[in-house]
Amino acid sequence: MAIIGAGIAGAAAAHRLREAGRPVVVLDKGRGPGGRMATRRGPDSLRFDHGAQYFTARDPRFKARVEDWTTRGVAAPWGGAERFVGVTGMTAPVRDLLDGIDLRCGRAVGRLVRDGRSWRLQEADGAALCEDAAFSAVLLTCPAPQALALLAGAGEDLPGVAEVRYAPCWTLMLAHDGPPLADAPVREDRDPDATIAWIARNDSKPGRDGGGTLVAHAAPAWSRAHLEDAAEDVAERLVAALRERMPVGAIRHRAAHRWRYAAVERAVGEPCLFAPETGLGFAGDGCLGPRVEFAFLSGLALAGRALGEAAR
């Protein structure tokens, strides 16, 4: 089987399939695994969790996994209220699930091509991926618009994928010499008209080196209004907005990252989608909602369906 996307959903699915003894290949267009559980490197060994900030665990299956991660030092509590982060970056839990799995990064799947009862994967220009191997099932764990494009190109549909909606998010990564947040480690603003919705002391997370790093997420409405702006302009505006909220010292590094599909606003409302007759499936936070835990559970569910389990 092939899994497209090495975020937490794809990693959970791959892990489950491997446990069941099924060969699996995971492809991701990014340079490494993690998806929106992301860690970005800056100069001077700076590192920022610029996607998901933390995760919670409520479902017993995810709780058991998080307990295992914390026991082995892959994750650790942070900031109270049963919040957990990867150690030493948010990608750590995803990497852990993918340990020993055939993971191929830097591979953007552009086309799904039917070959009898199997599927072949191609880049957008038609070049073969995976040495032209054929797969009995292809599990799509990329954000819904990207999954939809692949399905449409193959002349297939998984009802529900087209209805999923995401809010964008511009993220500021900043290293400065000012005092840390007074009420560390986070500050939230739920005003929909705010420029910045979330500020986190990135350096307060366990295992992170270096002081003075913070991550700020712009609010959804602001992010939407500035979606196509240049990253450098956005970084400048977000630093200005940050100065209104806290003292900012001499800036050592700043960068902005645009998440076009950040937080699910409308989900499918089912754990996953799977069509046994074609072997195509969809999982991720687009199924159950905007949380790491939901994406994990969705990936597990899709692996179960691909293994022949009934829908729950």
Ligand X SMILES: Cc1cc2nc3c(=O)[nH]c(=O)nc-3n(C[C@H](O)[C@H](O)[C@H](O)COP(=O)(O)OP(=O)(O)OC[C@H]3O[C@@H](n4cnc5c(N)ncnc54)[C@H](O)[C@@H]3O)c2cc1C
**Residues at the interface with ligand X (CB under 6 A):** 4-10, 27-30, 35-37, 51-55, 108-109, 141-143, 146, 169, 171, 217, 259, 262-263, 284-285, 290-292, 295
Task: For residue 59, give every residue at least 6 positions away whose Cβ sits within 8 Å of its Cβ, in sequence order, or none.
Answer: 293, 297
Task: For residue 60, give every residue at least 6 positions away whose Cβ sits within 8 Å of its Cβ, in sequence order, or none.
Answer: none
Other CB atoms within a 10 A radius of the CB of residue 95 amount to 18
Q: Rounded to the nearest whole angstrom, what is the least distance from the CB of residue 226 to ligand X in the complex? A: 15
Q: Rounded to the nearest whole angstrom, what is the least distance from the CB of residue 276 to ligand X in the complex? A: 22
120 vs 27: CA distance, rounded Å: 13
Kindly tell me the sign of the dihedral angle through the C-alpha atoms of 193, 171, 55, 104: positive
Other CB atoms within a 10 A radius of the CB of residue 232 amount to 11
Nearer to ligand X, 52 or 300 (CB): 52
Question: At residue 214, what are phi and psi to the nearest 5 degrees?
Answer: -140, 160
Nearer to ligand X, 46 or 151 (CB): 151
Nearer to ligand X, 207 or 247 (CB): 207
Task: Answer whether 150's CB lies under 8 Å from 111's CB.
Answer: yes
307 vs 302: CA distance, rounded Å: 9
Nearer to ligand X, 44 or 163 (CB): 163
Nearer to ligand X, 224 or 247 (CB): 224
Q: Rounded to the nearest whole angstrom, what is the least distance from the CB of residue 76 to ligand X in the complex? A: 15
Query: Please, what is the end-to-end C-alpha distance for the chain in angstroms?
Result: 22
Q: Rounded to the nearest whole angstrom, what is the least distance from the CB of residue 120 to ligand X in the complex? A: 14
Nearer to ligand X, 50 or 176 (CB): 50
Q: Rounded to the nearest whole angstrom, what is the least distance from the CB of residue 304 to ligand X in the complex? A: 16
Question: At residue 66, what are phi and psi to the nearest 5 degrees?
Answer: -65, -35
Nearer to ligand X, 139 or 169 (CB): 169
Task: Answer whether 61's CB lies under 8 Å from 55's CB.
Answer: no
Q: Rounded to the nearest whole angstrom, what is the least distance from the CB of residue 144 to ligand X in the complex? A: 10
Helix (H, G, I), strand (E, B) or coil at 109: coil
Q: Rounded to the nearest whole angstrom, what is the least distance from the CB of residue 1 to ligand X in the complex? A: 15
